[in-house]
Amino acid sequence: MVVFIPEEAERVWGIETSIRNLRIQKASLSDVGEMVRWALAYHAKEPEVRKTLSSPLKSLHFTLWLVYNWFKCYNFKAVVSNRMAGYLQLRPKAHDRVSIHIWDIVVHPRLRGKGIGTSLMKFAEKTAQSKHQYLTLGVIESNAPARRLYRKLGYRNLQGSPTCFKITEIPEDLRVSSKVEFKLISGEKAVSCRNRILLDAVESVLGIDERKTFQSVYLSSNLDRKSVQFRIVVSTKEAGYVSIKQKRNVKSVFFVLHPSLWNTDVEIDVTKLLIDRIREGLVGPIKICVVQAYEKSLSAVLSKIECRSERAIGRLGLIKKLSGNRLKST
């Protein structure tokens, strides 16, 4: 299937491009090598990818992972004068039928700013809207040009993206004054606890409508098998959720507290106990991961208890509601 973009696409879809002989078509197996090379070159600017590519073995694994994901995606390419000018990868999400994800989108460096990225995005929306309610994507927080494009096209951040704090210095005295407990949970109970607290956090920042959107698109029933889950209890009441995973010499923690306790002394005590617990027998740093909805509050707490932390540049999860889809809201 070949979809031509120029005059007719401008008239029907409102796509603007200064390149008149642009077309978008389904990528073939022969395009895999070139798309993978483009992906390696483009994403090498990202800190984590750059670190991965510095090791020959990790670089090989990453390349094979890109090839593997090619077969998991719907792959399209933008063509100008019979040469690839950019590509688009759409990947269905395993846990929902409501949305489809833009796995990757890249435009050749010499052809940026000419409307090819916009054309690919509009094509993705047109392709998705007959079967899906939402189109989602991820973008590095520091990628200002891409964020401007997505904002112009109507994508928004639901503040469900993860933000990571690397704790580099912890005070010796972290005494807790109130009764705080961490109770071990697993399976469906852990999923239910995590999702309740997450939804309440999102609703407190963005409102009930965005809570419903977040629930439809982002919540899953999966847990990291290598992590241990805890229910935070304060005076017999459920107050939050924590999962802890040891990965080599780093303890990685996902943490979210019920919004009714934000900016309170209890929030300080819970954070103190959490850090005190996970630093036992610690070799290496602590990484605390939270959703953006809770980021501001946790940052203030870490400052109050004199923990020195560094915030990592993360990837924002953006979303757009599509029109003309056949599904009803859940």
pLDDT, tens only, 243-283: 998 777 777 899 999 999 999 999 999 998 888 888 776 66
Domain spans in the chain, listed from the N-terminal domain onward: 2-132, 162-311
Res 1: pLDDT: 42
- Do domains 2-132 and 162-311 share one topology? The answer is yes
User: Selecting from 3.40.630.30, 1.10.260.40, 3.40.190.10, 3.20.20.150, what CATH number does the domain 162-311 have?
Assistant: 3.40.630.30
Share of the chain above pLDDT 90, in %: 53
Provide the pLDDT confidence category of residue 69 given band limits of 50, 70 and 90. very high
On the CB side of 318, CA atoms within 13 Å amount to 21
Selection from 157, 111, 167, 169 nearest residue 315 by Cα: 157
* Tokens encoding 48: 């984590």
Total-model pTM: 0.83
> Which long-range contacts does 86-92 make (Cβ < 8 Å, 24+ apart)?
86/111, 86/116, 86/117, 86/120, 87/27, 87/31, 87/35, 87/38, 87/120, 88/24, 88/120, 88/123, 88/124, 89/35, 90/124, 90/127, 90/128
User: Selecting from 3.40.630.30, 3.20.20.140, 3.60.21.10, 3.40.718.10, what CATH number does the domain 2-132 have?
Assistant: 3.40.630.30
Cβ atoms within 10 Å of 118's Cβ, excluding its own:
17
Instruction: Judge whether residue 327 has pLDDT over 70.
Output: no
